[in-house]
Amino acid sequence: MAIPLRKPNEIDTLRQAGAVVGQTLEYLRNTVKPGMTLKEVDALGEEFILKAGAKPSFKGLYGFPASVCTSVNEVIIHGIPTDYKLQDGDILGLDIGTIVDGYYGDAAITMPIGTITSEDQKLIDCSKDALYTAIEAIKPGIRFKELSAILEESIRSAGFVPLRDFCGHGIGKKPHDEPNIPNYVDGKVNQGPKIKNGMVFCLEPMVCQKEGDAIILEDKWSVVSSDRLRGSHYEHEIAVVDGKALILTNP
């Protein structure tokens, strides 16, 4: 399947959807505190998205029951909001999607709850640093597998490993489109599609401590590593415009 090339007016709409995602994440980053439940976090995120004139895209997507993925501690992605009360020392992954005029926004952060350990801060920094290192390398002509290699090298050089079987992705009129962009390399780096102006996609490093094999928990959504240790996740939506990477999900 061909990777769509977006027109300037499409990228403008994607930027609107992405901006709401970025603003919602920033709002939650500054608002979420110990003692709040995950359901309260989800309700705050949904209310913010709706007031901003967008719709939450995750609610009902593939059957997901909420607007915000809330992934605590060892849950790396796709955590379902529950009555769990956040505690000082937790780390919380927030993944949010929006729709504006039929176009999708998508981004994620991992944030500290209260005071966290230096080890957990390094885990969070790893996913964030890997994301921005890869974004800086984006230009027309490089292959998506080269981005995967950059992500993997950044994660491993920090002493961690990438989560397997889940990946970044194209985005536009669909929440998940071509291509798939793993955070590790399968096969040769000099194969596969090249980046072109007009492409829009999400990079989302998902970081584990010792083992990268993914396990889906009994709720059929929450993903943990086979090492059952804490993980982290960061994501931005990016458009390639005039030969450069434009982050669409900044606040």
pLDDT in tens, 36-78: 999 999 999 999 999 999 999 999 999 999 999 999 999 999 9
- Report pLDDT digits (tens) over 10-38: 999 999 999 999 999 999 999 999 999 99
pTM of the model: 0.96
What domains are defined for the chain? 8-247 (3.90.230.10)
Pairing of β 161-162 and β 103-112? unpaired
Q: How many residues does the chain have?
A: 251
